[in-house]
Amino acid sequence: MKKCVIVGSAIINNYEKIKEYLTDDFFYVYCDGGLKHLEKLNRKPDLIVGDFDSHENPHMDVETIVLPCEKDDTDTCHALKVCIEKGFDDFLLIGCIGERLDHTLGNVSLLLMIKSLGLKGKIIDDYSEMEAVSEEGLYIDSKFSFFSLLTLSDKCEGINIRDAKYPLENAAIESVYQYGVSNEVKAGCEKAFVSCKSGNLLLIRVF
């Protein structure tokens, strides 16, 4: 798979945790204010995208897309679209959660865009991993303290949770009652498994 890291401008406190996910085979994209993380991440950009309203254009010898300040897409969303066009199919978004709730929710919705195209996507912050759940399902390793399932649709149906403290079979979660918060891998199991037949379900694994 062609892997891509997109770096946003939200605060990163635990750089060492984030760097555990970074490898040389990723294509690195820094979005405007995300350039403030460049030194501590110690990963050279392959692409820079932004309107440069929160960080000056570094004018590096790197492909740079300068966007207008007035536009429909956020810098992060535009970067994702560009990388999809470039043929990347596995995305890791960092520096995308925290500070401004509007940007946080907008960035979480990018996981739905990725899922809708049949691609892989994950958001990492200081505290958790986030992924959109498909019918094929996802695993939660016992190293995580907790995991939660939140519907981003009015209703998600056909939800299965196995090898967890609170299992479910062919269940539904509605947006008006988010009862899938703070589950755990079942004692004695190495992993739990979750899947969802319909709707947009978000899995949050908490470190």
Reported as a single tens digit per residue, the pLDDT across 35-83 is 999 999 999 999 999 999 889 889 999 999 999 888 889 999 999 999 9
What residue ranges of the chain are covered by domains with CATH 3.40.50.10240?
3-126
Chain-centre distance of CA 30, in angstroms?
15
Q: What is the CATH number of domain 3-126?
A: 3.40.50.10240
* 178 within 8 A of 204, measured Cβ to Cβ: no
Give the pLDDT confidence score for residue 69 in this predicted structure. Answer: 84
Give me the mean pLDDT over the 13-28 stretch: 96
Q: Is 111:202 a contact under the CB 8 Å cutoff?
A: yes
Rounded to whole angstroms, the Cα distance separating 130 from 153 reads: 16
Mean pLDDT of the chain: 96
Give phi and psi for 118, each to the nearest 5. Answer: 75, 25
Q: Tell me if residue 40 falls in helix, strand or coil.
A: helix
Looking at the chain, which residues constitute the CATH 2.60.120.320 domain(s)? Answer: 133-206
150, β-bridge pairs: 202
∠ CA 43-115-140 to the nearest 5 degrees? 75
Which range is least confidently modeled, 63-72, 82-91, 181-190? Answer: 63-72
CA distance 54 to 176: 36
Assigned fold of 133-206: Jelly Rolls (2.60.120)
Mean pLDDT of 164-175: 98
Q: Is the pLDDT of residue 1 over 80?
A: no
Instruction: Give the mean model confidence (pLDDT) for residues 88-105.
Output: 94
Q: What is the percent of the chain where pLDDT is above 90?
A: 91
Q: What are the start-end ranges of the E strands in 107-167?
A: 120-124, 128-133, 138-141, 146-151, 155-162
Sheet containing strand 138-141, edge to edge, reads 138-141, 191-195, 155-162, 168-174
The Cα–Cα gap between 95 and 30 comes to: 10
Query: What tens digit of pLDDT does each residue of 109-127 get?
Result: 999 999 999 999 999 999 9
Query: 173, 107, 93: which is closest to 194 by C-alpha?
Result: 173
